[in-house]
A = this chain, B = another copy of it.
Amino acid sequence: MAPAQTHASADRRIEILKSAAAAFRRRGYHGASVDEIASALEMTKGNLYYYFRNKEEILYACHEYSLDVLLALLADVRAETSTPDHKLRRLILAFVHLLLDELQATALTIDLQALSPPLLRKIIARRDEFDRGLREIIQQGMDAGAFAPGNPKMVAFAVMGAVNWITKWYDPAGPMTSDAIGQAFADYLVGGLTRMSGSSVPPPAAR
């Protein structure tokens, strides 16, 4: 009946990850204490070690979880049969939504480099996978002439930066809902690439 759980109460593990992600976002990996993560859940820090081997494994699991979610989204968008600009738009909208409403605004922002090399490599490999997917969409748009020509790698980095940076200023109590932010970002980041007609309008004045 209950959903598949590899070992001990997977739900509890996820609660811990959410608390940890929030703490890591606020204070950074080294700044957040294990005790702080536990207290927020009204458990003792010793108890965390029943679910995770150590603090690093918690960080690793946070990144894994975020990447699971984001790569699933990417696969979803890729499978669509629509134009690159629709794909990019949907990707940004959903990314912002996931980031703010599901991932404790934390996804790819927290200290990757705190991980030891073997774990680090695994995370980087998957993050690169996401990057490549994003670049592919942008490249397709450029090839089709729907997007202004440019370096898709740089554009992808710019998009990722703009979106991930939201973490730094977003205030759930602020005037902008996560939806409104997503719309505004998609408008700017996709609209800015899109050339009016289906054909070749020259790139903007600036050289």
Binding site for B on A (CB under 8 A): 26-31, 85-86, 89, 111, 113-114, 148, 150-151, 154-155, 157-166, 168-169, 176, 181, 184-194, 196, 201, 203-206
Would B165 and A160 count as touching, CB distance under 8 A?
Answer: yes
Would A89 and B206 count as touching, CB distance under 8 A?
Answer: yes
Chain B residue nearest to A111 (CB atoms) is B28
* Contact partner, A154, options B28, B113, B185, Cβ 8 Å: B185
Q: List 14 A-B contacts (CB under 8 A).
A: A27-B111, A28-B111, A85-B206, A89-B206, A154-B181, A155-B184, A157-B162, A157-B169, A186-B206, A187-B204, A187-B206, A188-B192, A189-B192, A194-B205
Chain B residue nearest to A149 (CB atoms) is B187
Chain B residue nearest to A175 (CB atoms) is B153
Q: How far apart are the CA atoms of A184 and B162 in the complex, in Å?
A: 15
Q: Which residues of B contact A168 (CB under 8 A)?
A: 161
Would B31 and A111 count as touching, CB distance under 8 A?
Answer: yes
